[in-house]
Structure 1
Amino acid sequence: MKKVFGWRPALLAVASSAFLLTACKDPQVDPSSPGTGNATAANPYDRNFQGTVTDANLNRWILDSMQVYYYWNDKLPDASTLNFDQQPNLFFESLLYRYNRQTRPDGDRFSFMYDNAQDLKNSLSGIARTTGMEFRLNLYPSGTDNVIGRVLYVLPNSPAARAGVKRGDIFNKIDGQTLTRANYATLLDVSQNIDTRTYTFVTATNGQLSTGQDKRIQAIQLAEDPVLLDTTFTVGSKKIGYLVYNQFITGPGGPTDRTYDQKIDNAFARFKGAGINELVVDLRYNPGGYVSSALNLASLIGKGVDNSKVFYRQEYNKLIMDQFNRAGQAGGLSSRFSNKSQNVGANLQRVFVLTSDATASASELLINGLKPYMDVQVIGDTTVGKNVGSITIEDRYAARKVKLGLQPIVTKSFNSLGQSDYSGGFVPNAVVFETNLVLPQLGDIANEPLLRTAVGRITGTVNGRLGVGTQREMPSVGSSLDDKAAGGNMFFDAPNGLFK
């Protein structure tokens, strides 16, 4: 679960050939001698903070980090006005240049803290305590406070999968208690010290729920493989590649592990071998991830792209940008596509991206970065609208035993045309919602509304702005996707950066 607490260190150094923003390193900023390798001006708290973990010391660390890295560091309150003796979560919140539709439309919607930095890093790599099923919570029946869980997808070989749970299943009780608006958060909190719960699954017939089956499901620490499905369909003369990708994760071992990126490469090798001439990328449940994984996927899709073409450019606060400029490294703020032998762009005129209101960050970076090179058709719901990214900051002194993790926004992203105008989200070319009480299976081109709309537009049988399932679903009270650390975030890893 997310907690608003925080700590410090990450590396900020201008090296001879690359600017690095990574976790678990010393904070290093040397405005006086950029471009000199590791020459740095040490932070005074590195010398003076001797391990007394008080709120005041924690809060000074938080402020110090934000003054260096925060994208809106010029909007931080004057230190003389701050209460350093308050709880760190309240102190952190008091620093943020928070978004307000009327007064701060350019404000921060995404900075947060975790109470455990290792949990944060695990979650960024798709590792979390889970049953293996992701679900959306809705009020049902209409006019009541009763809550049901509709299963969105189930991870293969997870406890939920072994219990026989599948997409489209519906549950309405936990340990015999009916889910309501008042109790669902507590009953579904898998972070509590309860290994196994009983979920009551019900059957839906003509909109009516009938008595179902109890299933005992354990929550375990699990690494999610984000590549849920890749397949091809042949519809007339159209050979359609279809990819369901649920998080931009490089691999279970963190940003240096490319296991999942390689799996994406292999999927596109199969697409290319099958001779696809249309592509549908399903990002409806993808809240973001590593920029390096977004760049990898974009390099497999883009038409006419290679390592001379810009995928995205990043902008930091004035302190950091000045250091780049003095070092003559401002050109290093642009990340270029990779040359990929599995690229299918030569056979495509367009790409279809399926979205929801949970589609965010690196998913949006992909859409924005591809738009200068090809027609990107968005089908589904308006996306979150996150055109900014963050880094993970944690304490580097293990002896102090401070476990908190800070995730501040540090950068804004632009495509090769200098466009970053999607803070309100990408509005779909075809508006389609998952309106079915019982969700059709992913990959069902006849019944699943988002994919059916994409296929219809490919074959010319669905035209105009609206597709099918255009009435918004029953009232939602949340989703298990909200608990992913990647939710609505972009992250940077060295050397090219990472967005989640």
Structure 2
Amino acid sequence: MRPTILFAIAIAISAYLPSCKKDNNGGGGSSSDKLKDSTILYARDIYLWYDKIPASFNARSYDDPDAIMEAIRAYSSEPGFTGPVDRWSFAVTQNVWDDLSQGISKDFGLGIFFRTANDLRVSFVEPASPAGKANIKRSWQIKQINNSTNISTSNLDFVRNAIFGANSVTIVFGRDGKADTTVTLNAATYLEQPVILDTVYNTGATKTGYFVFNSFLGDTNAIRNEFARIFNRFNTANVSDVVLDLRYNGGGYVLLQDELANYLAPNAANNQVMEEQKFNNKYTQYNSTTRFKKKGTLNISRIFVIVSQNTASASELLINSLKPFMNVQLVGPTRTHGKPVGYFPIPVMDWYIFPVSFRTVNKNGEGNYFDGFALNHTVADGLDKAWGDTEENCLAAALKYISTGNYARVLEPNSKTDLSTLTISSNDKLGAVRFRGAVGIPKKLNR
């Protein structure tokens, strides 16, 4: 089911951005030039840092709206930060966004990250994808790609292009305790399933719910139903703690973040401020406040969130929204991505443009986390273990704290896991192929 949010935006934007004109003030030019002119005119109006874009900026010198969006990022200055803070403004054709926003992908359905500089692992598999149908599993080691054994961070471009930029690939996988297997994958269209796993563990005298959630994009009704199912399971099991795994979740719809926050927040948060959206000084009439509307009977005072540099935007918004009301413990290999801002799709001819248009803050006015959230406990991603394995590094650390009041050691002696700068940087580039964003709609349009 296509989210109705897109239709609402498409019919509302032209009415609610009155200062934007679509013909470059009556100027001529080709259809391509008019597309570029409209793109920069919208940006000069709604972009959070619109007043920093110089008058000399020549949109027609760029290839397309996406190149223009990338170029305006250079003018996103914020007090306390050196250099531009915007890494996200972008544009895509409407048919591409229609698929992306609904969780429709056309690729192999394979996530990959380096465990060490020379140890590439499957990080996740989409069940309905070619990789899922081939029964490939998280933790499998990638030993060869298209007959090449040069699988290392030093050959990152080859790895990335072969896995994410090709229509076909042949991979030799190593499997713990089993013989290697060779699989040829052909890209195909499939529907993503953001909920990877939910389960309940015994942690001493209590029970802990574990939930792996990979994206806030997709079929919004189906995802809401999954939230209801999962938290009904947690309530029935009488869980006392929750471990929420967002390590690969780059964000998505703010409305789904709101929904999940309402399940996780304690009863005391009901009717309190969840988050505020703040636009530039031309559009302060769209500034809005969202309040908690508690769902379910789960009433916990703390939450453990597994994160990484790929935890971004709507995922970070969830963390920030809960912090004033709960003890939020962050566990993982790196601090989070750092995206306290959002956007919404603006239709321009057959494109949608996404200039960063609003910032978010929590009940305490906290929000400027462009450098991400720091960790309470640093531990490498357990890429050698399956989802839900209680010996997987990140999950094990959280479960140990719940059981004993202390985290596990960061790295055991002679560990083969790696938290080096090079490995983290390479994984950040591999993670960047997935969407990172908070997609909202001005509250006063969503009525």
Common fold, TM-score beyond 0.5? Answer: yes
1:70-111: CA deviations, max 9, x gaps? 000111111x45363443355444433456899953733233
Is 1:391 the counterpart of 2:344? The answer is: yes
How far apart are 1:415 and its partner, in Å? 0.4
Q: Which residue of 1 aligns with 2:23?
A: 45
How far apart are 1:51 and its partner, in Å? 9.1
Moved more, 270-279 or 151-160: 151-160
Q: Determine if contact 2:20/2:41 at 8 Å carries over to the other structure.
A: no
How far apart are 1:295 and its partner, in Å? 0.9
How far apart are 1:154 and its partner, in Å? 1.5
Q: TM-score, normalised by structure 2?
A: 0.85
How far apart are 1:495 and its partner, in Å? 4.2
Q: Which residue of 2 aligns with 1:428?
A: 375
Unaligned 5+ residue runs, structure 1? 1-9, 12-19, 31-39, 142-147, 325-329, 397-402
Q: Determine if contact 2:163/2:169 at 8 Å carries over to the other structure.
A: no
Q: Which amino acid in structure 2 is aligned with residue 58 of structure 1? A: L
1:349-393: CA deviations, max 9, x gaps? 211111111111111111110111111111112101111111122
Q: 1:117 aligns with which of 94, 115, 130?
A: 94
Q: Counterpart of 1:84 in 2: which secondary structure?
A: helix
Q: Which residue of 1 aligns with 2:161?
A: 186
Q: Which residue of 2 aligns with 1:338?
A: 293
Q: Which residue of 2 aligns with 1:484?
A: 434
- Within 5 Å, give how 1:259-408 maps onto structure 2: 259-305=222-268, 308-321=271-284, 323-324=285-286, 333-340=288-295, 342-345=296-299, 348-380=300-332, 381-396=334-349, 403-408=350-355
Is 1:72 the counterpart of 2:72? The answer is: no
Q: Determine if contact 2:380/2:411 at 8 Å carries over to the other structure.
A: no
Counterparts of 2:117 and 2:410 in 1: how far apart (Å)?
A: 26
The change in CA–CA distance for 1:110 and 1:120 in structure 2 (over 3 A counts) is: farther
Counterparts of 1:383 and 1:183 in 2: how far apart (Å)?
A: 26
How far apart are 1:428 and its partner, in Å? 1.0
The change in CA–CA distance for 1:64 and 1:277 in structure 2 (over 3 A counts) is: same
Q: Which amino acid in structure 2 is aligned with residue 260 of structure 1? A: I
Is 1:153 the counterpart of 2:128? The answer is: no
The change in CA–CA distance for 1:105 and 1:391 in structure 2 (over 3 A counts) is: farther
Paired residues, number:
430
How far apart are 1:289 and its partner, in Å? 1.4
Q: Which residue of 2 aligns with 1:84?
A: 60
How far apart are 1:418 and its partner, in Å? 0.9
Q: Counterpart of 1:173 in 2: which secondary structure?
A: strand
Q: Determine if contact 1:430/1:465 at 8 Å carries over to the other structure.
A: no
Q: Which residue of 1 aligns with 2:202?
A: 234
Q: Which amino acid in structure 2 is aligned with residue 393 of structure 1? A: I
Q: Which amino acid in structure 2 is aligned with residue 27 of structure 1? A: S
Q: Counterpart of 2:419 in 1: which secondary structure?
A: coil
1:44-86: CA deviations, max 9, x gaps? 52995899423x32321111110121000111111x4536344
Q: Determine if contact 2:125/2:131 at 8 Å carries over to the other structure.
A: yes
How far apart are 1:150 and its partner, in Å? 0.8
The change in CA–CA distance for 1:496 and 1:304 in structure 2 (over 3 A counts) is: farther
Counterparts of 2:346 and 2:180 in 1: how far apart (Å)?
A: 46
Name the one with the larger helix percent.
2
User: Alignment RMSD, CA only?
Assistant: 3.3
Q: Determine if contact 1:115/1:404 at 8 Å carries over to the other structure.
A: yes
Is 1:131 the counterpart of 2:79? The answer is: no
Q: Which amino acid in structure 2 is aligned with residue 66 of structure 1? A: A
The change in CA–CA distance for 1:100 and 1:465 in structure 2 (over 3 A counts) is: farther
Q: Which amino acid in structure 2 is aligned with residue 363 of structure 1? A: S
The change in CA–CA distance for 1:26 and 1:52 in structure 2 (over 3 A counts) is: farther
Q: 1:221 aligns with which of 158, 167, 189?
A: 189
The change in CA–CA distance for 1:181 and 1:155 in structure 2 (over 3 A counts) is: closer
Q: Which residue of 2 aligns with 1:171?
A: 142
Q: Which amino acid in structure 2 is aligned with residue 267 of structure 1? A: I
The change in CA–CA distance for 1:86 and 1:483 in structure 2 (over 3 A counts) is: closer
Q: Which residue of 2 aligns with 1:144?
A: none
Q: Which residue of 2 aligns with 1:410?
A: 357
Counterparts of 1:393 and 1:42 in 2: how far apart (Å)?
A: 11
Unaligned 5+ residue runs, structure 2? none
Q: Which amino acid in structure 2 is aligned with residue 84 of structure 1? A: R
Q: Determine if contact 2:160/2:430 at 8 Å carries over to the other structure.
A: no
Q: Counterpart of 1:64 in 2: which secondary structure?
A: helix
The change in CA–CA distance for 1:28 and 1:225 in structure 2 (over 3 A counts) is: same
Q: Which residue of 2 aligns with 1:6?
A: none
Q: Which amino acid in structure 2 is aligned with residue 171 of structure 1? A: I
Q: Counterpart of 1:198 in 2: which secondary structure?
A: strand
Identity within the alignment, %: 26
Q: TM-score, normalised by structure 1?
A: 0.77
The change in CA–CA distance for 1:137 and 1:472 in structure 2 (over 3 A counts) is: closer
Q: Which residue of 2 aligns with 1:60?
A: 37
The change in CA–CA distance for 1:103 and 1:265 in structure 2 (over 3 A counts) is: closer
Counterparts of 2:78 and 2:363 in 1: how far apart (Å)?
A: 28
Counterparts of 1:273 and 1:235 in 2: how far apart (Å)?
A: 16
Q: Which amino acid in structure 1 is aligned with residue 93 of structure 2? A: N
Q: Determine if contact 2:20/2:42 at 8 Å carries over to the other structure.
A: no
Q: Counterpart of 1:212 in 2: which secondary structure?
A: strand
Task: Point out the structure with max Rg over C-alpha.
Answer: 1
Counterparts of 1:121 and 1:94 in 2: how far apart (Å)?
A: 24
Question: 1 or 2 for the larger relative contact order (CA 8 Å, sep ≥6)?
Answer: 1
Counterparts of 1:172 and 1:99 in 2: how far apart (Å)?
A: 42
Q: Counterpart of 1:74 in 2: which secondary structure?
A: helix
Q: Determine if contact 1:296/1:337 at 8 Å carries over to the other structure.
A: no
